[in-house]
Amino acid sequence: MDRQLFRQAMIKFFGGLLLVGALIFLPAGTLRFWKGWLLMGALFVPMFCAGLVMMRRCPELLRKRLQAGEKEDEQRRVIALSALMFLCAFILAGLNERFGWLPLPAWVSWAACAVFLAAYALYAEVLRENAYLSRTVEVQRGQRVIDTGLYGIVRHPMYAVTLALFLMMPLILGSLISFCVMLLYIPLIVRRILNEEKVLRQGLPGYEEYMRRVRYRLIPRVW
């Protein structure tokens, strides 16, 4: 086992756990926020298990997923705006719990959690299909076009899955206000995809032909 990679992964994992917990429970003013715990479990338990599997079977993919330094200016702007969106959404969800703004029924949280876990399973499948998935937009040495499985249906299944994951988070927390904030992720992910395709067309052989064969970027017959 690569101890340095393991240490880096654990720091990232527990740092994210503490940050998300603070953003949810501090504004709520209580730890007795069961929807907050539901989200924490749905988010971090599969993440921890997936990290262990990648550590054992494909450490290079895990290393790529831990990298966060974007080279493209457009991508850095998208990342910064996305971070601000998440900050606002989680804080508002906590405040929503504290002050009882537009509460959603419990069944919405459970239904959203089921969709979230199903999307997480698809996320794992995308990682299995594409070993080139880093968190940064770049063309890697030896990279080839992946056009099988989910990549034969849409060109960006990872973004389709993350869109579902992110939109379910505020619903799990029972906050309609936070859900409206998280809808801003749609134009942000569109900007990221268009810029990424520009980079891939320029640097990845065969990508333009792949774009002609797989017409839809995110949702079949929609876009």
| pLDDT value of residue 149 | 84
Q: Is 175 helix (H, G, I), strand (E, B) or coil?
A: strand
Sequence-distant (6+) residues with CB within 8 A of 162 are 123, 189
Span 157-170, pLDDT tens digits: 989 999 999 999 99
Band of residue 139 on the pLDDT scale cut at 50, 70, 90? low
- Give the global pTM: 0.88
pLDDT higher than 70, residue 180: yes
- Residue in the structure block whose two tokens are 């979230």: 116
| pLDDT value of residue 117 | 96
Q: Which two tokens stand for residue 133?
A: 């998935």
Q: How far apart are CA 208 and CA 215, in angstroms?
A: 11
pLDDT higher than 60, residue 217: yes
Per-residue pLDDT, averaged over 141-148, amounts to: 74
Span 6-38, pLDDT tens digits: 888 889 899 999 999 999 999 999 999 999 999
Least confident of 66-75, 83-92, 189-198: 66-75
Q: How far apart are CA 36 and CA 148, in angstroms?
A: 37
Band of residue 108 on the pLDDT scale cut at 50, 70, 90? very high
Name the most confidently modeled range: 2-11, 73-82, 149-158.
149-158
pLDDT higher than 60, residue 138: no
Sign of the Cα torsion 196, 201, 206, 207 reads positive
| pLDDT value of residue 201 | 85
Fold category of 3-213 in CATH: Four Helix Bundle (Hemerythrin (Met), subunit A) (1.20.120)
Domain boundaries, the chain: 3-213
Please check whether residue 44 is in contact with residue 12, taking contact to mean a CB–CB distance below 8 angstroms: no
CA 63 to chain centre: 17
